[in-house]
């Protein structure tokens, strides 16, 4: 049963670790304004020393946005809440504006949180937002299936929590709460909010979906969408757990950039979990920010069942032999040599950290000639190890290779930490098990601790 009570603060936040504070993303609309005041109530009663920072992002996309941000600042000042307005500055793209605005919004929120030593951002997405999102994704998924593609992961809707950039958690505690209940609470308190005109603009998909839900059968469609999304979320989480088990049971890292899968990986009964695991591994090895297409991966998997092959998918070479199935980055379209930059992401696969700042250092692929000179006793087939190392980053000064990813020598001028490419920017809590399994496999940084007990407790299904 969905929560409809207005007095929600303790129920919504009691499972969160707020001891290190929280950033509340506040646009001035009813949902985020309600989030802010419910959160403040909870902190005042339970953790008064915890830091609360309200942050408003001014995207600069329409007239009046600066005035709206100032209105939020005034409300916060009136109630003794720290507030910052951050502006998305610079040129805006001519296409893909919503996605670019979303990326900018979370980047700015994360920067503000880290400046305050806070690792948790809370947003005001509600059950209404969840249903609208689910219906939009359902329409896109049905279109994709008509064209021969299928995935269905998006039908789970928004995750209760998402890890941004592998360092800051974004949580959505209101996903089980109706917008009407939040507005009723604000009205009783005499707190106003800003109506975003784009929410009524029928040129955009979300307002059209919102209008359709206001019709005579709106509540029925709402309940049906909630039920479908709940089921899809449970299925996605179950598939992720099974994929993580596949990775743990059958995958091993033989050398830098070289993954081996046991031949039994392709022979098991749970092909759906194995294919999902393979999609994640291919994207990670290839440094691709999105999962490998399911249909193409399924076709490759069926070929793996039948015997040996050598193929390329998502920039990853899949070399299936009697000794195992080997994955490594293909040696095409690698980044060109460029001056070394600290904390840069190289080829979507490695985060470069520099210990030598003396200048003149260049990061470039190790290359086949240098890889041939590497001697190692790690049990990996020598030819495959060389092919994998060819595509790994190396630190060069002139024609001299000073360091490379996977070097066994003492620490050099460069560290190249692996990253889980498809989840490096946004990791939904639905996908924690397979992300953790891949991170362990490749030696990536461990995940920050989830900020709430049981990540699904804040989802779209309240336990009222």
Nearest 5 degrees, angle CA 273-CA 268-CA 274? 20
Contact present, 26 and 196 (Cβ < 8 Å)? no
Assess whether pLDDT exceeds 90 at residue 240.
yes
More reliable by pLDDT, 160 or 99: 160
Assess whether pLDDT exceeds 90 at residue 215.
no
Q: Quick: pLDDT tens for 104-153.
A: 999 999 999 999 999 999 999 999 999 888 888 877 766 554 444 456 78
Percent of the chain with pLDDT over 90: 72
Strands 52-58 and 22-25: parallel
Closest CA to 455 of 424, 438, 430: 430
The model carries a pTM of: 0.90
Q: Region 200-209: what's the mean pLDDT?
A: 65
Domains of the chain: 9-233+450-458 (3.40.50.620), 238-330+426-442 (no CATH), 338-418 (no CATH)
Q: How far is CA 99 from CA 88, 93, 157, 422, in A?
A: 13, 10, 16, 17
d(CA 428, CA 461): 17
* Distance, C-alpha 226 to centroid of its chain: 22
Torsions phi, psi of 21, nearest 5? 90, 180
Closest CA to 9 of 32, 33, 27, 35: 35
Q: What is the DSSP letter of 14?
A: T
Rounded mean pLDDT of the chain?
Answer: 89
Assess whether pLDDT exceeds 70 at residue 455.
no
């Amino acid at each position: 049963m969905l929560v409809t009570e207005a007095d929600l603060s303790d129920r919504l936040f009691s499972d969160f670790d707020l001891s290190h504070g929280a950033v509340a993303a506040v646009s001035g609309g009813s949902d985020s304004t309600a989030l802010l005041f419910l959160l403040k109530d909870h902190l005042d009663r339970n953790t008064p020393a915890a830091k609360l920072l309200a942050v408003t992002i001014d995207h600069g996309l329409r007239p009046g946005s600066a005035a709206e941000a100032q209105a939020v600042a005034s409300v916060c000042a009136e109630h003794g809440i720290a507030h910052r307005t951050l502006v998305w500055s610079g040129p805006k793209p001519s296409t893909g504006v919503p996605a670019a605005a979303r990326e900018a919004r979370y980047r700015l929120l994360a920067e503000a949180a880290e400046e305050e030593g806070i690792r948790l951002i809370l947003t005001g997405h509600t059950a209404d937002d969840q249903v609208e999102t689910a219906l939009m994704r359902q329409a896109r998924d049905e279109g994709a299936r008509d064209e021969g593609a299928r995935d269905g992961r998006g039908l789970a809707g928004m995750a209760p929590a998402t890890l941004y950039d592998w360092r800051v958690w974004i949580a959505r505690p209101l996903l089980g709460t109706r917008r009407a209940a939040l507005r009723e609470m604000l009205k009783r308190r005499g707190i106003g909010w800003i109506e975003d005109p784009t929410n009524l603009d029928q040129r955009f998909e979300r307002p059209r979906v919102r209008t359709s839900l206001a019709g005579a059968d709106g509540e029925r469609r709402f309940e049906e969408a909630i039920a479908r999304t709940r089921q899809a979320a449970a299925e996605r989480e179950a598939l992720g757990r099974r994929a993580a088990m596949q990775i743990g049971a059958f995958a091993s890292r033989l050398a830098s950039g070289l993954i081996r899968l046991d031949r039994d990986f392709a022979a098991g009964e749970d092909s759906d979990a194995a294919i999902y695991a393979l999609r994640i591994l291919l994207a990670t090895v290839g440094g691709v920010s999105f999962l490998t297409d399911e249909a193409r991966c399924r076709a490759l998997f069926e070929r793996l069942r039948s015997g040996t092959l050598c193929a390329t998918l998502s920039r990853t070479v899949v070399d299936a032999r009697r000794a195992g199935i080997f994955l490594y980055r293909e040696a095409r379209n690698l980044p060109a040599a460029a001056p070394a930059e600290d904390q840069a992401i190289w080829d979507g696969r490695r985060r470069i950290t520099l210990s030598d700042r003396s200048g003149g250092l260049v990061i470039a692929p190790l290359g086949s000639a240098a890889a041939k000179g590497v001697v190692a006793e790690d049990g990996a087939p020598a030819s495959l190890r060389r092919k994998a190392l060819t595509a790994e980053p190396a630190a060069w000064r002139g024609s001299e290779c000073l360091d490379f990813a996977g070097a066994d020598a003492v620490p050099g001028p460069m560290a190249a930490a692996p990253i889980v490419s498809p989840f490096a920017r946004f990791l939904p809590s639905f996908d924690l098990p397979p992300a953790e399994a891949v991170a362990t496999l490749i030696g990536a940084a461990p995940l920050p601790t989830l900020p709430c007990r049981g990540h699904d407790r804040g989802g779209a299904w309240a336990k009222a």
